[in-house]
Amino acid sequence: MRGWVKVAPYGDGPVGLVAQRTWWLRAPGGDWQSREVTEARAHSGTVVAALEGFGTPEAAAALKGREVAVPRSALPKAGKGEVYHADLVGLDVVSSSGRSLGKVVAMESFGAHPLMRVQGGEGDGDPAGRLVPFVEPILRSVDLKARRIEVDWEPEY
């Protein structure tokens, strides 16, 4: 009845998104537009929120399917041993035996754990690339300065 929206956040959970007072929204193929958040709370792993100018269920329904983002400057600095998934895009992925798996072109999440979509490495004949789990023990190291991720994963997998 109040026109709230429900958002499934990426990352560790809803807390960071709840704290933001301005969200950026984008329809598929559209431009980013800022929207003021008048209220937000975590609910069962999601975020429910009221956005200025969308006070009815009909108005809120118009936002369905949009991406939600916040400025990088609004995010806390990553802690020791932590990285933002966005920082992984463009990094080289190398197997622990030294073979190139390609570059990270996207981070995906289908439930269990994050996956790196990697394209352009040895044996990569699929235009969609390959999915490599971003989870220990497969993940060996991430070196943002060297722009390199080492994994216990071979091109044949």
Across 11-25, 34-48, 105-119, 133-147, least confident range: 11-25
Q: Is residue 11 over pLDDT 80?
A: no
Non-local (6+) Cβ contacts of 97 within 8 A are 154
Q: CA-to-CA distance for 143 and 117, rounded, in angstroms?
A: 18
Q: How confident is the model at residue 81 (pLDDT cuts 50, 70, 90)?
A: confident
pLDDT digits (tens, 9 = 90+) for 103-115: 999 998 887 889 9
CATH fold of 85-151 reads: SH3 type barrels. (2.30.30)
Residues 111-139 have a mean pLDDT of 88
Q: What is residue 98's predicted lDDT score, i.e. its pLDDT?
A: 94
Report yes or no on whether pTM surpasses 0.75.
no
Average pLDDT, the chain: 90
The answer as to CATH 2.40.30.60 being correct for domain 5-74 is: yes
- Integer Cα distance of 89 and 114 in angstroms: 13
| 45: pLDDT strictly greater than 90 | no
Domain with CATH 2.30.30.240 in the chain: 85-151
Query: Which residues belong to CATH 2.40.30.60 in the chain?
Result: 5-74
Give the containing element (helix H, strand E) for 58: helix 57-61
Residue 123 has pLDDT above 80, yes or no: no
